[in-house]
Amino acid sequence: MIELDRDAMTPLYVQLASVLRDCIRSGEIPVGRRLPSQSELEAETGGVVSRRTIKSALDLLAAEGLVQGVQGKGVFVIALPSTKD
């Protein structure tokens, strides 16, 4: 279960992107693996976030060069996050 804080100052999509980034960094979701689908992520958050929020999180990870969408297949991890946090 992915837990997000609706009352936090950080937007939900940024929180979700951070959780997914941590999963990639830890190897829980390795390079080459497909991320959970939007409906799977929606279920994992207990329905707390909308698909639009999930798409925004995935778009953020794509902009960082960590994931890439493949039409009809899903979103795949293509790189590890940098460790310069």
pLDDT 10s digits, 29-71: 999 999 999 999 999 999 889 999 999 999 999 999 999 999 9
Model pTM greater than 0.85?
Answer: yes
Is the pLDDT at 9 greater than 70, yes or no? yes
Residues 6+ apart with CB under 8 A from 81: 21, 24, 25, 64, 66
Average pLDDT over residues 11-24: 97
CB 29 within 8 A of CB 23: yes
* Structural domain boundaries, residue 70: 12-77
CB 33 within 8 A of CB 24: no
Structure confidence at residue 82 (pLDDT): 81
Confidence of residue 1 (pLDDT cuts 50, 70, 90): confident
Q: What is the pairing mode between strands 67-70 and 74-77? A: antiparallel
Q: What is the CATH number of the domain that holds 42?
A: 1.10.10.10
How many domains does the chain contain in total? 1
Structure confidence at residue 84 (pLDDT): 62
Residues 6+ apart with CB under 8 A from 40: none
Considering the domain boundaries, does residue 82 fall inside one? no
